[in-house]
Structure 1
């Protein structure tokens, strides 16, 4: 991986805010990635940490090597390859489960953690099913509420997935999975009941997803 000296910056980088001189950049980045719902750009991370972009980039490179088992650990031994990875997606960075562990995680979420979906989750799932591919922001606009936690729940249950990114904004676009079809007992989305394209505030159409509860 390429590195830059700490005093290198890119045009348009916000001026770093105050931050403790003793801040461990790598651990601070980890803390942010653990709660981030969307990929985080270098500029956004640099602003949050109050550090130059180059310093943040170097911290990310160290984390990538550490998670991939390529860094040097205690006693000169290589670090352990983790079950997750730090991946660059849509112009930003985010932690993802490694591909080889996807089947295990999916099985755990579906069979070992079969909690009922809330009404909010059912309504959000309905919006995504009828309007896909659709961004989180667009879903929130339709429902007039924040849907971040609900989208995380639907992703963890394997009912929706990230299908692409919006070219203009880089926002992640979501769609439903084959698991939803299986749960509803239909062969394709064409079999969903027809409802208004505007998805009004009423419950019309949402009751058809009650089978997931």
Structure 2
């Protein structure tokens, strides 16, 4: 068991706080959270948050969990274990995972036209969480981190890559087609199908999109 020089709350409350922290870190994704941000949400002392995180890290390590809590520049985030990397590479290379979902395609379009852009703004445009889609696009080399925005937490800015241009046969972003041909899916069916074909995906992939949106709810 773990001991703290300053224990707050009952065991039941502390376990509930840990459960909430785990959910918060998952929702925050790669941007992570500072102890102060977690403390403000839970309305407890920042030092107590650090103690809870310490206990969670130790407990997860002892239990052999597939996720870990890491601290980078005073920001805590959830990551997978480095020793499991080969398995994630196999997952990414799986034929069933080789195509882009419509959700990823729409996310890519937003990034292409609005870059540099942060994840929150992408999600505001789409109306759903986009962390999974962004991860897929990064794995395929179509999207990359291009810096950090000013403001609280300095969120990551995303932009397209050189591989994105090569994928679409573009010399520069100036050659992107009119934005309406990307976003007005029903009114521009032919352009939509051509875009799917150039990305090597099937036009009918609504179930995948629904799956992602169900994960984000």
Pick one of 64, 87, 94 that aligns with 1:111: 94
1:153 aligns with 2:133: yes
Q: How far has the Cα of 1:197 moved from its partner?
A: 8.4
Task: Give the structure-2-normalised TM-score.
Answer: 0.60
Q: How far has the Cα of 1:108 moved from its partner?
A: 0.2
Instruction: Please show how residues 56-135 of structure 1 align to structure 2 within 5 Å.
Output: 56-67=49-60, 69=61, 79=62, 82-89=65-72, 92-111=75-94, 113-114=96-97, 117-135=100-118
Aligned to 1:171: 155
1:22 aligns with 2:12: yes
Q: How far has the Cα of 1:81 moved from its partner?
A: 5.3
Aligned to 1:76: none
Q: How far has the Cα of 1:201 moved from its partner?
A: 4.8
- Contact 1:7–1:52 (CA under 8 A) maintained in structure 2: no
- Contact 2:165–2:172 (CA under 8 A) maintained in structure 1: no
- Contact 2:118–2:155 (CA under 8 A) maintained in structure 1: yes
Name the CA distance, whole Å, in 2 between partners of 1:120 and 1:133.
19
Aligned to 1:51: 44
Give the number of aligned pairs.
186
Name the CA distance, whole Å, in 1 between partners of 2:96 and 2:73.
30
Q: Which runs of 4+ in 1 moved over 6 A?
A: 197-200
Q: 1:179 to 1:65 in 2, by over 3 A?
A: farther
Name the CA distance, whole Å, in 2 between partners of 1:207 and 1:82.
42
What's the secondary structure of 2:12's corresponding residue?
A: coil
- Contact 1:64–1:86 (CA under 8 A) maintained in structure 2: yes
- Contact 1:40–1:94 (CA under 8 A) maintained in structure 2: yes
Unaligned runs of 5+ in 1: 9-18, 70-78
- Contact 1:90–1:171 (CA under 8 A) maintained in structure 2: no
User: CA deviation digits over 1:143-185, x for unaligned, max 9?
Assistant: x33242x331341462445454324341122244687678x37
What's the secondary structure of 2:25's corresponding residue?
A: helix
Name the CA distance, whole Å, in 2 between partners of 1:4 and 1:189.
59
- Contact 2:149–2:156 (CA under 8 A) maintained in structure 1: yes
Task: Give the CA RMSD over aligned residues.
Answer: 4.2
What's the secondary structure of 2:97's corresponding residue?
A: coil
